[in-house]
Structure 1
Amino acid sequence: MALLKFTTYTAFTLSLTGLALYRKHLVSALLCLEGLMISLFTTLATISQTLATATTMTQPIIMLTLSACEAGAGLGILVASSRTHASDHMKNLNLLKC
């Protein structure tokens, strides 16, 4: 159990560090967000198995559903920005421009 906790904590901190430091491309930001969601899903699944109550059993499923929605929205933004700006560089994307 200690190895699983260490692995999920490490994955979360590495993904958060990657999201904070390396934001040059939109794809790398989306991959870091997916790493965050996977580590949170693993943590919630582990907690729900150890507690074994009815209220904690649905939390990993809800988290997985939100992660899939986030991935779909992120890929949609990636395709739209690639078509309009011809790249996925974050500095080219300015949301205040019309």
Structure 2
Amino acid sequence: MTPVHFTFRSALFLGPMALVFHRTQFLSALLCLGGMKLVQFIAIALWGLPIQSSCWCADLMLMTAFSACDASTGLPLLLATPRTQGTDCLPNLNLLQC
């Protein structure tokens, strides 16, 4: 296993582990998800370099579009949660209540 493969595999493993262990704040959960998405984006970009084909560019564009949609929904949720619930601590939020 090359160091690049080890780095990406460990980063993809540490992202969900950080999400599990540090899920007290809504912002830290969003940062963990964003880090996992960034590692996937870089991995797809580096995966297409040795192939020298243009078909992997569609995957990058699709992932960029999903990242923009995620950011456009995550930021308003991050701002609206403390206003409506009074806190952004995830254990204190009741997700079943409207």
Task: Name the TM tier (shorter chain).
Answer: 0.7 to 0.9
Q: CA RMSD in A?
A: 1.8
Deviation at residue 41 of structure 1 after TM alignment? 0.2
* Residues 18, 32 of structure 1: 8 Å contact kept: yes
Deviation at residue 64 of structure 1 after TM alignment? 2.0
Look up the match of 1:74.
74
* Number of residue pairs the alignment of both structures matches: 98
TM-score by length of 2: 0.86
Deviations 1:23-48 (A, max 9, x none): 11111100000010000001100112
In the alignment, structure 1 segments of 5+ residues that lack a partner are none
Q: Which amino acid aligns with 1:73?
A: T
Secondary structure of the residue aligned to 2:14 is: helix
1:28-39 equivalences in 2 (<5 Å): 28-39=28-39
Deviation at residue 54 of structure 1 after TM alignment? 2.7
1:5-84 equivalences in 2 (<5 Å): 5-84=5-84
CA distance in 2, matches of 1:11, 1:49: 20
Secondary structure of the residue aligned to 1:33 is: helix
CA distance in 1, matches of 2:74, 2:37: 13
Deviation at residue 67 of structure 1 after TM alignment? 1.5
TM-score by length of 1: 0.86
Deviations 1:29-76 (A, max 9, x none): 000000100000011001121222232122112112212221221111
Deviation at residue 78 of structure 1 after TM alignment? 1.0
Identity of aligned residues (%): 34
CA distance in 2, matches of 1:8, 1:82: 34
Q: Which amino acid aligns with 1:12?
A: L
Secondary structure of the residue aligned to 1:94 is: coil
